[in-house]
Amino acid sequence: MKTFLNTINGKSAGSDRTFASYNPATGETLGMVPHSSDDQVAQAVAAAKAAQPGWAALPDGERKALMMKVADLLKENSEVLAEWVVREQGKPLGGVGPDQVPGARFEAWGCEAWTRVPANLDLPVDVVFEDETRRDEMHRKPYGVIAAVAPWNWPLLIAIWQIIPGLRTGSTVVIKPSEYTSIGTLEMVRMISEALPPGVLNTVSGPGEVGAALVGHPDVDKILFTGSAATGSRIAEIAARNLTPTTMELGGNDAAIVLPDADPQQIAMSIFWGAFINMGQTCAAAKRIYVHESKYEAMVAALKAIATQMPMGNGMDAGVVMGPIQNRMQYSKVVGLVEKARQEGATIVCGGQEPGGRGNFYPLTLVSHIKDGAALVDQEQFGPVLPIISYKNVEDAIASANRLDVGLGASVWSNDVQQAKAVASRIQAGTVWINQHGMIHPMVPFGGVKKSGWGSEGGIDGLKAVTVPQVISIKKG
């Protein structure tokens, strides 16, 4: 059985201990992954720290050019990387274009796109004040060493979100992939490191204790984390000991509000993919749908017609558009939430039964006649289950959308864009989409409010988030 290796200071690095990575569609072992030791974590951070001054000293044009070489390598290896995503994470291959299923090929393409865009963005010196007596300039400086902890749901794309902005602005990076999806990330870093000086980008792998050692290292200058609120809370506690700044994306429980004038048939497919992209295992997927009572039954029927026709299976097979839940822990959570909803009297419109057999497959499940306060509504299910809730007036829907302590994304659906904007402005979320959901873009900042985290990724704001502001104030005359 092959053991896939970390990259530390430009060289491959194994470990005395290893663990297995599994295919969630088949249960087969894909390979072994190093369980990095504390010493190896320290070596990775030391390599990043030693490489950082030289990396930051490169002319900006040279760093841009190297980022474009990284993008070229991602493009050249896109099919290999996409296949790793299928085997290790579970999402089907899918395609890239607007009419294609957004699967593993989309993720691999996204890695390239989210590299090329930052590579071509600038953070010029900004004159924040000037008069006859003084000139005040805002400069942006690299943090130094960035520690990144990536999740299992979009293991390559979110890793790139964490890696590239820091490298682009002169920091170096040590990244720990999720223990559930390590191989694809380790392979991606191995590939793109060919374009980078040694020590600029390093990996360590293993369970939570490895991540704790990384984010707690005193030579780490900034922490980027995407994952659960529970883990984020522990990382924030560790970071506080060294006063290390953080950017946290901690998931959400996105509400979608369907206004009374919306046409269920017209919007059903868009809402479906807003909810079930990546089998619902997306932080900014629509996870609770509020539909006006006049359109409720029609909306439920339209979503059912789509959900019951979607082919599910091994993502490497032709025609498959839905894959498995990535791991058994998450699978058990999804099953438990559906069973609790059933016991409490909700209607299981479709799905809701474990199929048995190999793999972590669970059918697309719609749940109707359910209310706020139910666990399936109030907790982030992060799986292929969607509760659909009826409301009487728009004020009730807005109150429902805002009642939870998270606020990553939300959406409003209406034929009247101005009315939708008025509703959107009152929703407590980092992003509110209108007549779409979860439509990210590399030029658009993304982040949450409340317990969905803080800080931004993407666009100019994402670059600023991995730099330190420095004012240079010049006396004239």
Residue 94: the pLDDT is 87
Q: What is the CATH superfamily name and number for domain 6-250+452-475?
A: Aldehyde Dehydrogenase; Chain A, domain 1 (3.40.605.10)
Strands 134-142 and 467-475: antiparallel
Domain spanning 254-441, CATH class: alpha beta
Specify whether 283 is catalytic.
yes
The predicted pLDDT at position 477 comes to 86
**Would you state the pLDDT for residue 239?**
98
Nearest to 242 by CA among 270, 227, 223, 265: 223
Which of 383, 382, 381, 405 is CA-nearest to residue 453?
405
Tokens of 94: 């899918």
- With CA atoms as reference, report the closest residue to 385 among 418, 354, 413: 354
**Tell me, what's the pLDDT at 123?**
95
Q: Residue 193: its pLDDT value, please? A: 97
pLDDT value, residue 97: 67
Q: Strand 409-413 relative to strand 254-258: parallel, antiparallel, unpaired?
A: parallel
Extract the residue ranges of the chain whose pLDDT is less than 70.
96-99
Domain boundaries, the chain: 6-250+452-475, 254-441
List the one residue out of 288, 314, 287, 312 whose CA is nearest residue 364. Answer: 312
Using only C-alpha atoms, the chain has a radius of gyration, in whole angstroms, of 23
Catalytic residue among 111, 187, 283, 457: 283
Whether 311 contacts 276, CB under 8 Å: no
- What are the pLDDT digits (tens) for 267-315? 999 999 999 999 999 999 999 999 999 999 999 999 999 999 999 999 9
Residue tagged active-site, from 107, 187, 249, 380: 249
Alpha carbon distance, N-terminus to C-terminus of the chain: 71
Quote the pLDDT of residue 102: 83
Q: Angle CA(438)–CA(184)–CA(167) in degrees, nearest 5? A: 75
Q: What are phi and psi of 6, to 5 degrees?
A: -80, 165
Neighbours of 120 (CB within 10 A): 12
Query: Closest Cα to residue 153, out of 246, 25, 251?
Result: 251
pLDDT at 307: 98
In tens, the pLDDT along 194-222 reads 999 999 999 999 999 999 999 999 999 99
Strands 126-130 and 134-142: antiparallel
Average pLDDT value over all residues in the chain: 97
Pairwise CA distance, residues 321 & 91, whole Å: 8
